[in-house]
Amino acid sequence: MTTALLNQQIEDVYRKESRRVLATLLRLLGDFQLAEEALQDAFTVALKQWPSDGVPANPRAWLVSTGRFKAIDGLRRQSRFVHGVDELADQLEADTPDFVAFADDDIEDDRLRLIFTCCHPALAEDSRVALTLREVCGLTTEEIASAFLSRPSTIAQRIVRAKAKIRDANIPYQIPSAAELPERINAVLQVLYLMYNEGYSASSGENVTRADLSAEAIRLAELVLDLNSDSTADTEIAGLLALMLLQESRRAARSDAQGELVLMADQDRRLWNRDFIEKGLALVRRALGDGRYGPYSIQAAIAAIHAESSSPDTTDWHEIVGLYEVLLRVNANPVIALNRAVAVGMRDGAAAGARAVDEIYDSGVLADYHLLHAARADFQRQLGLHQAALTAYETAIGYAQQLPEIRFLEKRIAEMRAKLAR
């Protein structure tokens, strides 16, 4: 194997396995800093050994074992200077088996345990979400800040505070009991929702989507649904999983062979995954069957209308606008208001859509959100207001961070400039 190919394989292992390895190291070592250092040490050893020894058959378990060994070895070196560290090293060595004893299922469940630890009610809500997206999903502080429409420095401070709280309060690393699940589940669902959204539409980078991230969010949502027996929480878990599956059904159609963005109106719906759609529709019926609903169930119902429509023209935009209005009463979120405004434009025409989007624009609440400016520009383009559309597209591209979106906006800008030059 060439050096370049091996390095690519190690990078792939890091991308796919690092968060799972971290979760298991945290269970074994009981400390965020120790686990993070052990993860880094394990991959450093891999970079040195794998070129000569080859990639192990079970790289995840190898990394867990190596990271644990390096952590224990580091504690023993510290024991000459810090009282009690040697006893901790002895305990860690006695309490954990060799990597050959690690079952894949045990390591997989560690990530779910980590989510519940990061979403403990003792932590502030914004810190819970930021910490989980960083440690469970591996998002950078910049990516999390983009999801929150916040500053990276603010997100970094939240993560530091959350880790300190977990350490100082001795928050346990475990899945809560059935009695504790209801009060813990909303924070977990919020994290899984944001995790999936980042995978479905990456906030930055080369690609439209991140399949590994959205697939993991779906897998974890399935685990949470299996865990929960409370009917009230079950409704929203089923709704969230339905939403994920229905959105995921469109993945293959969301970009072309060159990786360029394809809007829903232009997608080849024959590429939509029918298995995901059928599973999602069944979960929507389950979520809405008893007449109770929450924000995820309502969004899933909207996604179901899209999934069942053969084209944009046959989509029931009246029903979608109505569902967005119900959703806004449940969750008065400006991004939801923007989605409703776009749906109004699809139902009532570009002029009505432009007025609805302009109301949000004039409020200033989404001033640095590129999709607000892009939606505004698109309605202005449809109305033939080319100069206004150009200005709005140029504003949108200034806030966009995902390269396919930037290239899409560049095409729109070139189109508007060409029309103005005639």
pLDDT digits (tens, 9 = 90+) for 301-342: 999 999 999 998 999 999 999 999 999 999 999 999 999 999
3 state SS for 238-296: HHHHHHHHHHHCCHHHCECCCCCECCHHHCCHHHCCHHHHHHHHHHHHHHHCCCCCCHH
Does the pLDDT at position 100 exceed 50? no
Q: What's the confidence (pLDDT) of residue 186?
A: 84
Give per-residue pLDDT as tens, 246-256.
999 999 999 99
Give per-residue pLDDT as tens, 213-234.
888 889 889 988 887 655 556 7
Confidence band, pLDDT 50/70/90 cuts, at residue 147: low
Mean pLDDT of the residues in the chain: 87
Give the chain's count of helices (H) and strands (E).
Answer: 19, 0
pTM more than 0.85: no
139 vs 407, which has greater pLDDT? Answer: 407
Give the closest residue to 403 by CA, choosing from 213, 133, 201: 201
> Average pLDDT of 142-147?
79
341 vs 176, which has greater pLDDT? Answer: 341
Confidence band, pLDDT 50/70/90 cuts, at residue 359: very high
Asked whether 204 and 146 are in contact (CB, 8 A), the reply is: yes
92 vs 28, which has greater pLDDT? Answer: 28
Q: What's the confidence (pLDDT) of residue 89?
A: 46
Give the closest residue to 197 by CA, choosing from 305, 303, 89: 303
> Average pLDDT of 50-56?
87
> Average pLDDT of 47-72?
88
> Average pLDDT of 373-396?
98
Q: What's the confidence (pLDDT) of residue 232?
A: 56
Q: Lowest-confidence range among 34-48, 101-115, 150-164, 275-289?
A: 101-115
In one letter, which amino acid is 320? I
Give per-residue pLDDT as tens, 178-196.
777 777 888 888 888 988 9
